[in-house]
Amino acid sequence: MRDAAVGFHCPTCVAEGVKETRQGRTAYGGTRPTTPTLTSIVLIALNAAVWLAVLVTGWQSSALVDRIALTPVGRCLLAADADRYFPSVTDEQVCGRIGGTEWVPGVADGAYWQLLTSAFAHVEVWHIGFNMLVLWMLGPQLELVLGRARFLALYLVSALAGGLAVYWLSGETSATLGASGAIYGLMGALLVVALKVGGDVRGVLTWLGINVVISLVLPVSWQGHLGGLLGGLAVAALMVFAPRERRAVVQWSGVGALTALLVAGIVARTLVLA
């Protein structure tokens, strides 16, 4: 990684990003951004805004977190004590009959927005700080290589893939939040780009390996990390290995098919939990 005015750049990625292709185009067909930091800045600002909203509404006891964190099934709460709930109750009507005072819906109850809103939500300072630092390090160089629209697709599909993995693999009443799935998607994309240009991937693999170990050792959502990583690898492969002829058609058709597959996985899990 090299120090630069916009963070840290991977030499092979920068070289690929500035390669002379069609005028105004990146190496992989996207429109070359004049300010490759813009999308990352907007994403960081969105995450910061949500974190501030959580902070001013109660921080660790914020009711907002219950609405935007990813919870596979709904939870029956006691409004007087946000830390207490009935873990065996997954039906709103039952919740009311046994004395629960608040029902918080999960994804299986129709709160599908949680699959993406959870990727913009954080509670702890260290959590948002680490995720936004990595986004600032990787985002601009990947946007320079892929173009703005393709980079944004990479970020959002990785976030959705991380959410799907949490939906399937986490506890039914667990609450998961954080941009880590999307961040791991960016790490996977960096690895794919480095492989495509024949760069030295040992540094990327080492960095990725350290983060995988952290995911397994610390009490974090390894499910979201795994899903985001696989999503990022898949989207990046579609982008950089698409044939030059009809490149855009192959790229966007592939991303559309991948997104449809993720949606099908969400529907299947919902039917299982219903």
Which residues form the catalytic set? 180, 225
Contacts of 111 (CB under 8 A, 6+ apart): 67, 71, 74, 105
Contact 168, 140 (CB under 8 A): no
Q: Which amino acid is at 59?
A: W
Q: Residue 72 gets which letter from DSSP?
A: S
The DSSP result for 110-134, as a single string, is T-TTHHHHGGG---SHHHHHHHHHH
Q: Rounded CA gap, 76 and 107, in Å?
A: 14
Q: Which helix (H) or strand (E) segment is 76 a member of? A: strand 75-78
Other C-beta atoms closer than 10 Å to the C-beta of 247 total 15
**What six digits make up the tokens of 94?**
């039952």
